[in-house]
Amino acid sequence: MSIEKQVIEKAAEYKEYSAKILSEMIKIPSFSGEEENVCRKIVELCEEAGFDEVRIDGLGSVVARIGNGPKKIAFDAHIDTVTVGNPDNWEKDPFSGEIDDTYVWGRGTSDQEGGAASMITAGRILKDLGYDGEYSVYFTFTVMEEDCDGMCWKYLIEEEKLVPDFAVSTEPTSCQLYRGHRGRMEMVVKIKGISSHGSAPERGESAAYKASKAALAMEKLNADLQPDDDKFLGKGTIVVSEMKVSGPSQCAVPDEAMLYLDRRLTWGEDADLAIGQVKKYITEALGEEPESVTMPDYEKRGWKNTDYSQELYFPTWKIDRDHSLVESGVEAFKDLFNKEPVVDKWTFSTNGVAICGRHKIPMIGFGPGDEKEAHAPNEKCRVKDLEICSAFYAMLPYKLK
């Protein structure tokens, strides 16, 4: 029997298993920085599946391995989730892990513990098949991605010295093959005014009015941003996500203002360019430069209380359509499912910003569930997707060039 047929049959045999272990994870809330309990559960599941090595790294991510080949491929799933939001918007308990004929339901099913469940099943398939190929196959179940995407992998590469030859993100792609996405960064703009008594506003300079003009300048900048040359990733964007003004009292002209900006970066855009654009557009709107435009740091500690941080900059990444990793992914998909995969990109950001964007390790994406389910109420993941993805992850190491 061909290896493709064996993988397909095993993935089908483990379909209910994949759904069940996803359900078990969903029942354990795992907000960013609070993932310890789900990490302990994943360790247990990987050990039961027969992985050759299972450990927890210094930041709190689970690292599991199958095989002892001289090269390395890593499959990554972040296992933290956003919070529930307004519970009235949910028709089902977000932590029920309910399974029906079509879906597993709950917070994190698509974004992105569905990928984690498929990875565990893929490891079990590889063990069943006695995989002993050229690649050591790593499965990483990473923390704090929702707060600071990529920091977990910056830690794995720079501190733990886990440097794979190739990587696969299992973020939701609707079982399509992705090869990149826009980067992003966060910025803080500070604007100064001059306070005066509210009864005589003409004596002061309102930081609130300046901030409003600056916000409209960001609206103009967003409209002026252009797509990348080959139109693959699309245009960058900028959004004012928060504004604050303050002054001596509620009866005074405010003398300080802050704008928080979310900037999405297409190919060819970086932090220096983006900061320069913000300064230029605000200066033109106000007739003076803002007090400062800076990129803040992320400094929250995770469940292991490890002191580790990075700037809130997440580089854009993509690999070429004819890259050997993409071609291997296409071949694996075709051999398993007898059709061509859709090759596309994500709208949102993933740990690829560190793996490929920062450290230039070739990477693709293939995951269960849909992007539109991310951060939405009534989140769900198709059980069939879990089966498809577990087969793809188990097949890819055999197809790598």
What positions carry a catalytic annotation?
A: 80, 145
DSSP state, residue 340: P
Q: Find, among 314, 296, 309, 284, the residue nearest to 190 by Cα.
A: 296
Dist CA 43 CA 52 (whole Å): 12
Q: Scanning the structure block, which residue is given the tokens 């993933």? A: 350
Q: What would the two tokens of residue 361 be?
A: 């390790």
| In contact, 245 and 257? CB cutoff 8 Å | yes
Nearest to 114 by CA among 164, 175, 37, 43: 175
Q: Which two tokens stand for residue 44?
A: 């247990």
As a whole number of angstroms, the distance between CA 331 and CA 314 comes to 30
Nearest CA-CA partner of 351 in 75, 136, 137, 122: 75
Q: Which residues contact 273 (CB under 8 A, 6 or more apart)?
A: none
